[in-house]
Structure formats: C-alpha cells, structure tokens
C-alpha cells in the first residue's frame, strides 16, 4: 500500500468550541482540536483534565453541552455511537468474557453482516497484526493483560474504522510490556494509516507515540504541537512543567527593551523575551541547557549565573544529574555530559546557562496542580 493510499483511510476530525458540563462542573471548556487524516494525536494531561470526556464525546458515549464535532468532514453531533464506525480501545480491555478471542474479534463483522469466509479471513488478518492468531480459541479470562489488550486492539481495527480511539490502553500494564506495546501500536498505526487518537497521562508515552500532542488541563487545551515544540517552546508554564523535566525561577522582574530581567536573591538574570504585560514572568529552564561551574568561576558573555549548592548528585551512565538548591530556596535540575567536571553533594557551585535558553512564561498557579 502506498503512503498516499493508506492516508486516505484515515478520517480528519474537527472539534469546535466543544463544551461539556455536568451540572455546574465544566469538564470540557471550549475545546477546539483539528486532527489530520492518518495523524497520531495524543491527548495528554493530568487526571481529571477532560481527556476521557473528549474521547467519549467523539465515540458517541457522551453528548456535548455545546459545540460541534465532525469526522471526515461531516458533523456527527447526535449520531448514536453504534452508527459512528469508530474503533475504541478501553483501558480495561472490555473484551466480552462469554466469547472466545475469535468471536470477540468477529463481533463487529457479524454485526455488519460480513459473510463467513470473508469474516474469518479478516479476523485472522487482524489477529495476525497484533500477533495473537494462535489464541483465537481461548477465552479472555485465559489471557494475560497485555494479550487481552492486543485482542481488544484487533477487535477495534478489524472493521477498518477510519478512526481509532484509545483511552490509556496500556495504563494497567507493567513498564516493559508497555514499552513493547507502544512500538507495536506505532507499527500498526503506520501499517493501517488510520487516524489514531490516544489518551495518556504519561508524557514519555506521548512523546514516543505521537505525531502531535494536545496538552489538557482543567478541561481546556493548553497547547497543541509536536513533542519537540511542546518541549522547546511551551506556550504556558503548565505545558513547560508537564512535559519533561524543568526548573522554574521566580523573582523581581523588570523589562528593558526586548529583554526581561529577574532578580533572584540579589543576583540578576535575563531572558531575551518579554511578556505582553500585566503578567508575572517566570523563567523555565531545561536540565540539559544548564551547566555547573565551580563557584565564582569567570563568566563568558551572554551567560546567566546563579549561585547554589549541590543537594543531590546522580550518576546516570550517559552523564550525571544534579539537584542544586539556589539562594532563594528553589531547586534546579541539571543534566551534564560525561566530559563535564563532576561535583559532589555539598559543593558550592554556579548554575550557568545561555541567555537565549531562558524561556520566559507567564506565571500561573494552575500550573502547580498535582502532576501525574
């Protein structure tokens, strides 16, 4: 199958100004999301941020309070779940316990009146795709969690839906199995060309799998972008803190020209950015952009420096990771390469980074929600 051909099998999704309220509680707040045909889109966010609600709205299990939803260019608001032709994989597998694996996978085909020969061929093909063909005669209770989830995946793709929704499908599995199944899911996505919408609260999983990631927080989308965009150019403090490791610095701010200066415990640092106004600036730093130098070592031009003390030093094989307590009590996370000079706990150090690497963001107390 050529790429252009397989891409045609995926459907575009358009969610516009979707709002879902439960009584006074707003589970989805004006969410808009466009997903390209054949794209792997991950909905990422902490618990209770509205990921499952979004998926349920697309699947047809939940009605929107307001807004529009279209799949493949046609609005499907009000279309019942069983007429949507969308594959769904649940975290809890949801295999029918009274049917064998083969019957489970054949179920959507039986409902569609596919005749026996064709049905058996497609069940076999779907089970082959998830490498479960030898288990067709088993009952779900006779399979491990990972095997059950692969069968559930086969059942959701066997009727060739143009869109596949997955709600934390690997959430109940151990790390090794999860990592292996992530690669399997990626392969299946490539082979099918179906549009995948994947829910997780594991940012690493999101980075491994996705073409693009939509970061949810409190019923809203904070940012949509590739993993790299979210990591390098977070739009909000929440996104910056949720994706990857980071250090946030707060202090007395002053703007001059295009630069913003922050004074932290008497030391001044700068960022080559400024905020629209009215907002309290915060500087976000990525651990690999930071380096450590012995206290009071000479500074090269264009570098920021903050004094601190090493409170944790971890050898990682490929390099080292440090925690540094700064003068104002905040903690910085630093990753250094093997070549860098090693430090030990208690060392007085200077935290150094290039002025360009200071990412200036608006402070936001919603970003300090518990991160999972």
Partner 1 sequence: MNQTIDTTTAGGSDPRPAGRAASEPRRWRLADYPSLLTVPAILLLIAAMAYPLLTIVLRSFSEPEWSLQNYVWFFSTPVNLTVLARTFSISAWVTIVCVIAAYPYAYLMTTVGPRMRLVLIMCVLVPFWVSGVVRTLAWVILLQDSGVINSTLKAIGFSSIRLIRTQTGVVIGMAQVLLPFMILPLYSVMRGIDLRLVQAARSLGARPALAFLQVYLPLSLPGVFAGAIIVFILSLGFYITPALLGGPRSTMLSTLVQSQVLSLLNWGRGGTMGVVLLVSTFVLLAVAAPLMRQRHKQASRS
For tokens 């069983």, name the residue: 82
Which of ligand ATP, partner 1, Mg ion, none is residue 256 near (CB under 5 to 8 Å by kind)?
Answer: none
From 59-67, 192-200, 246-254, 272-280, span contacting partner 1 (CB under 8 A): 59-67
Q: Interaction with partner 1 in 230-289: which residues (CB under 8 A)? A: none
Please pick, from the candidates 201, 212, 286, 352, the single residue that binds ligand ATP as defined by CB under 6 A. 201
Binding mask of the shown chain, residues 147 to 166, with x at each position contacting partner 1 by CB under 8 A: --------xx--x-------
Q: Interaction with Mg ion in 44-63: which residues (CB under 5 A)? A: 52
Q: How far apart are CA 326 and CA 265, in angstroms?
A: 9
- The answer to whether the beta carbons of residues 95 and 130 sit under 8 Å apart is no
Nearer residue to partner 1 within complex by CB, 87 or 251: 87
257: left (phi over 0), alpha (psi -120 to 50) or beta: left
Parallel, antiparallel, or unpaired for β 303-315 and 195-200? Answer: unpaired
Which of ligand ATP, Mg ion, partner 1, none is residue 86 near (CB under 5 to 8 Å by kind)?
Answer: partner 1
Q: Closest-CB residue for Mg ion?
A: 52
Residue 328's contacts (CB-CB under 8 Å, 6 or more residues apart) are: 250, 251, 264, 265
Q: Does 287 bind ligand ATP (CB under 6 A)?
A: no
Triad 165, 372, 92: Cα angle to 5°:
40
Please pick, from the candidates 18, 41, 49, 310, the single residue that binds ligand ATP as defined by CB under 6 A. 49
Please pick, from the candidates 90, 242, 322, 343, the single residue that binds partner 1 as defined by CB under 8 A. 90
Least Cβ distance, residue 154 to partner 1 (angstroms): 12
Which of ligand ATP, partner 1, Mg ion, none is residue 49 near (CB under 5 to 8 Å by kind)?
Answer: ligand ATP
- The answer to whether the beta carbons of residues 177 and 146 sit under 8 Å apart is yes
Nearer residue to ligand ATP within complex by CB, 182 or 336: 182
Nearer residue to partner 1 within complex by CB, 37 or 87: 87
Q: Does 61 bind partner 1 (CB under 8 A)?
A: yes
Q: Which of 79, 184, 68 is nearest to 132 (CA)?
A: 184
Please pick, from the candidates 24, 82, 175, 252, the single residue that binds partner 1 as defined by CB under 8 A. 82
Spell out the SS3 assignment of 227-273: HHHHHHCCCCHHHHHHCCCCEEECCEEEEECCEEEEEECCEEEEECC
Q: How far apart are CA 57 and CA 70, in angstroms?
A: 11
Nearer residue to ligand ATP within complex by CB, 119 or 178: 178
Q: Does 25 bind ligand ATP (CB under 6 A)?
A: yes
Least Cβ distance, residue 146 to partner 1 (angstroms): 16
How far is CA 147 from each of CA 132, 188, 199, 336, rounded to the nearest angstrom? 7, 15, 20, 40
The tokens of 188 are what? 């299946």
- The answer to whether the beta carbons of residues 170 and 111 sit under 8 Å apart is no
The tokens of 28 are what? 């989805």
Please pick, from the candidates 77, 81, 183, 299, the single residue that binds partner 1 as defined by CB under 8 A. 81
Q: How far apart are CA 151 and CA 161, in angstroms?
A: 16
Which of ligand ATP, partner 1, Mg ion, none is residue 201 near (CB under 5 to 8 Å by kind)?
Answer: ligand ATP
Binding-site size for ligand ATP (CB under 6 A) equals 12
CA 229 to chain centre: 12
Q: Which of 185, 202, 200 is nearest to 149 (CA)?
A: 185
* Binding residues for partner 1 (CB under 8 A): 59-61, 80-88, 90, 92, 94, 96-98, 107-108, 111-112, 139-141, 155-156, 159
* Binding residues for ligand ATP (CB under 6 A): 22, 25, 27, 45, 47-53, 201
* Binding residues for Mg ion (CB under 5 A): 52
């Amino acid at each position: 199958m050529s790429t252009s051909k397989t891409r045609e099998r995926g459907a575009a999704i358009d969610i516009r100004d979707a709002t879902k309220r439960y009584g006074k509680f707003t589970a989805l707040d004006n969410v808009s999301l466009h997903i390209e045909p054949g794209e792997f889109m991950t909905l990422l966010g902490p618990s209770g941020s509205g990921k499952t609600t979004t998926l349920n709205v697309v699947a047809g299990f939940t009605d929107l309070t307001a807004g529009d939803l279209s799949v493949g260019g046609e609005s499907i608001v009000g279309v019942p779940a069983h007429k949507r032709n969308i594959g769904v994989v649940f975290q809890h597998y949801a295999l029918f316990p009274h049917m064998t694996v083969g019957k489970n996978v054949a179920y959507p085909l039986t409902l569609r009146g596919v005749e026996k020969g064709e049905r058996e061929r497609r069940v076999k093909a779907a089970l082959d795709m998830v490498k479960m063909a030898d288990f067709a005669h088993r009952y779900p209770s006779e399979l491990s969690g990972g095997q059950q989830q692969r069968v559930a995946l086969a059942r959701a793709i066997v009727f060739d839906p143009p869109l596949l929704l997955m709600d934390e499908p690997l959430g109940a599995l151990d790390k090794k199995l999860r990592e292996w199944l992530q690669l399997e899911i990626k392969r299946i996505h490539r082979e099918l060309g179906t549009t995948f919408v994947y829910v997780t609260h594991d940012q690493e999983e999101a980075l491994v799998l996705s073409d693009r990631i939509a970061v949810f927080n409190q019923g809203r989308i904070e940012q949509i972008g590739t993993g790299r965009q979210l990591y390098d150019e977070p739009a909000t403090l929440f996104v910056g803190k949720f994706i990857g490791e980071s250090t946030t610095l707060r202090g007395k701010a002053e703007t001059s020209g295009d630069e913003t200066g922050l004074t932290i415990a008497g030391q001044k640092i700068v960022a080559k950015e400024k905020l629209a106004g009215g907002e309290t600036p915060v500087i976000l730093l990525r651990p690999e952009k930071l380096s450590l130098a012995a206290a009071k070592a000479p500074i090269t031009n264009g570098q920021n420096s903050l004094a601190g003390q090493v409170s944790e030093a971890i050898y990682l094989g490929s390099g080292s990771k440090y925690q540094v307590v700064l003068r104002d009590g905040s903690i910085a996370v630093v990753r250094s390469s093997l070549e860098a000079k090693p430090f030990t706990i208690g060392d007085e150090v200077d935290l150094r980074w290039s002025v360009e690497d200071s990412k200036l963001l608006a402070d936001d107390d919603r970003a300090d929600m518990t991160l999972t």
